[in-house]
Amino acid sequence: MGDYGSLGQHCLSDALHSFRGLKKLGERAIAQLSDEELTRAPDEESNSVAVIVKHLAGNMRSRWTDFLTSDGEKPDRHRDTEFEPDDALTRAQLLERWERGWGQLFAALEPLAGDDLLRTVMIRGEPHSVLQAINRQLTHYASHVGQIVYLAKHWKSKDWKSLSVPRGQSDQFNQKMRERKE
């Protein structure tokens, strides 16, 4: 499995890099929001950024605690409550949950070796390879971080500070990138 282990290690490194990028993107969006904007939902059927963060933190705790040895849907997780607004939850408490969730993810993934990607883990009683479980969560978290960014941009409107290439500045950005490679 030597060659696969090397490829597997590359896959793990790439997944960790992607997770770190999502974490940073979410944090940069959240940092632009006031406490009121953090808890504001567009309508009663939609989630606020705070609710999305609660859900992500709950999911991360459940999926990454004892990742290789227990089902990723822990019996003490109450997923439905993650989607209930909690006016008593402060920004500091919310961000602590965010940090703890990401910490559990990184603590579970960083020690893995490439060959671990073919091991089997369970999520809601269904077997997944470790690679499948990682990709499942990577896409799940990307969708929710995208929601966070979208809501933050919506609430900030003209005061939004771009997290990537600002609108109307693609040509300048591309030119700078080409100059860096020369």
pLDDT tens digits, one per residue of 124-162:
999 999 999 999 999 999 999 999 999 999 999 999 999
Helix (H, G, I), strand (E, B) or coil at 122: strand
Average pLDDT, the chain: 94
pLDDT of res. 3: 53
The count of structural domains within the chain is 1
Residue type, 26: G
pLDDT of residue 5 exceeding 60, the answer is no
Residue 29 belongs to domain with CATH number = 1.20.120.450
| CA nearest neighbour of 163 among 55, 33, 15, 12 | 33
Q: Which domain holds residue 118?
A: 2-181
In whole angstroms, give the CA distance from residue 41 to residue 85.
Answer: 9
36-75 pLDDT, tens per residue? 999 999 999 999 999 999 999 999 999 999 999 999 999 9
Per 3-state DSSP, the chain is made up of helix, strand and coil in percentages (nearest 5) of: 65, 5, 30
Mean pLDDT of the region 88-104? 97
pLDDT value at 19 more than 70: yes
Grade residue 2 by pLDDT with cuts at 50, 70 and 90.
very low
**Residue 178, class by beta-carbon neighbours within 10 Å (0-12 exposed, 13-18 middle, 19+ buried)?**
exposed
pLDDT band at 89 (very low <50, low <70, confident <90, very high): very high
Confidence of residue 1 (pLDDT cuts 50, 70, 90): very low
Count of residues for the chain? 182
